[in-house]
Amino acid sequence: MSISSHEEFLALKEAGRICRLVLREMQNAVRPGSTTAELGQIARI
């Protein structure tokens, strides 16, 4: 992937920040017996 502008860089940085937050919430929710549907619901919130 090539980044051709500072705006693209900032957009990708923000996307990474959002992914980090979502993954952290999903990680905190994982328990034995958790389903992918439950984790998917967290990702959609």
> Percent of the chain scored above 90 by pLDDT?
87
Q: And the tokens for 45?
A: 């919130």
Residue 44, judged by CB atoms within 10 A of its CB (0-12, 13-18, 19+), counts as exposed
Please indicate, yes or no, whether the overall pTM of this predicted structure exceeds 0.95.
no
Could you tell me the pLDDT band of residue 1, with boundaries at 50, 70 and 90?
confident
Q: Which of 45, 9, 4 is nearest to 25 (CA)?
A: 45
Tens-place pLDDT, residues 22-38: 999 999 999 999 999 99
CB 25 within 8 A of CB 42: yes
Residue type at 18 in one-letter notation: I
Instruction: Give pLDDT, residue 45.
Output: 75
